[in-house]
Amino acid sequence: MILFSSPMQFQNTDTVYEFAKAAVEEGHEVTVFCDVDAVYNLMASQILPDQKTPAKKLAELMTEGVHFLACMESARLRGIDSKEALIKGAIESSLGELALLMNQSDRVIAFSI
């Protein structure tokens, strides 16, 4: 899956969460590549009173085997230190790696604005 939107911009993060969870329960291997504003979904510093943050939801999926990759260049352009600011388990990646993953996948689903 490719996620392009930020956590508060659209419902895409929740949709990715539900879709990935269902896919894993059906025995599929799932990787989510966060590009452009979607890198904000993986920021450890999210604060939402009385609500589970998108980062915590995505971290839950990591314990179920979902891989989350963050585009290093998208993070850098947004002033995010991808080595320090992302949730534990998020993997730094690149568009080149995304191209390889897409080539190896039997399905690719993108969630955009």
- Model pLDDT, residue 8: 86
Residues 83, 53: Cα–Cα separation, whole Å = 20
Q: Which domains does the chain have, with CATH numbers?
A: 2-111 (3.40.1260.10)
- The amino acid present at 93, given as its one-letter code, is S
User: For the ranges 24-28, 61-65, 82-86, 98-102, which has the lowest average pLDDT?
Assistant: 82-86
Q: Is 11 exposed, middle or buried (0-12, 13-18, 19+ CB in 10 A)?
A: exposed
Tokens read off for 80: 């995010």
pLDDT band at 82 (very low <50, low <70, confident <90, very high): confident
Mean pLDDT along residues 13-25? 97
Give the C-alpha separation, 29 to 25, whole Å. Answer: 10
Record the pTM: 0.93
9 in Cβ contact with 39 (< 8 Å): no
Mean pLDDT of the chain: 95
Rounded Cα gap, residues 88 and 42, in angstroms: 9
H and E: helices and strands count for the chain: 4, 5
- Whether the pLDDT of residue 79 is over 80: the answer is yes
Structure tokens at 39: 């890198």
Q: What is the pLDDT of residues 22-72, one digit of tens each?
A: 999 999 999 999 999 999 999 999 887 777 889 999 999 999 999 999 999
